[in-house]
Amino acid sequence: MKNIILTGDRPTGKLHIGHYVGSIKNRLKLQNEGNYDEFFIMIADAQALTDNADNPKKIRENILNVAIDYLSLGIDPRKIHIFIQSQVSALTELTFYYANLVTVSRLQRNPTVKQEIKMRDFANSIPVGFFTYPISQAADITAFKANIVPVGVDQLPMIEQTKEIVKSFNRIYGDTLVEPNATLPTNEASMRLPGIDGNAKMSKSIGNCIYLSDSEDELKEKVFRMYTDPLHIKVEDKGHIIGNTVFTYLDAFCEDSHFSKYYPEFNNLDELKEAYQQGGIGDMKIKKFLFNILNELLEPVREKRKYYENNLEEVYNILKEGSMYAQSCANETLREVKKAMKIDYFFEDNLLNDYK
State the residues that interact with ligand TRP by CB under 6 A: 6-10, 42, 44, 47, 137, 140-141, 149, 151, 155
**Whole-number minimum distance, CB 329 to ligand TRP, in Å?**
14
Pick from 107, 68, 112, 124: which is nearest to 201 by CA? Answer: 112
Strand, helix or coil at 188? helix
Smaller CB distance to ligand TRP: residue 47 or 228? 47
**Whole-number minimum distance, CB 131 to ligand TRP, in Å?**
14
- Pairing outcome for strands 181-183 and 148-150: parallel
Query: Angle 312-340/56-73 helices, nearest 10 degrees?
Result: 110
Smaller CB distance to ligand TRP: residue 9 or 283? 9
Smaller CB distance to ligand TRP: residue 183 or 228? 183
**Whole-number minimum distance, CB 39 to ligand TRP, in Å?**
12
Q: Is residue 325 a contact partner of residue 80, using CB atoms and an 8 Å limit?
A: no
**Whole-number minimum distance, CB 207 to ligand TRP, in Å?**
20
Residue 201 phi/psi, 5° resolution?
A: -115, 130
Smaller CB distance to ligand TRP: residue 11 or 239? 11
Q: DSSP class of residue 341?
A: T
Strand, helix or coil at 119? helix
Q: Is residue 15 a contact partner of residue 211, using CB atoms and an 8 Å limit?
A: yes
**Whole-number minimum distance, CB 159 to ligand TRP, in Å?**
8
Smaller CB distance to ligand TRP: residue 10 or 273? 10
Strand spans (E) along 10-91? 38-43, 81-84
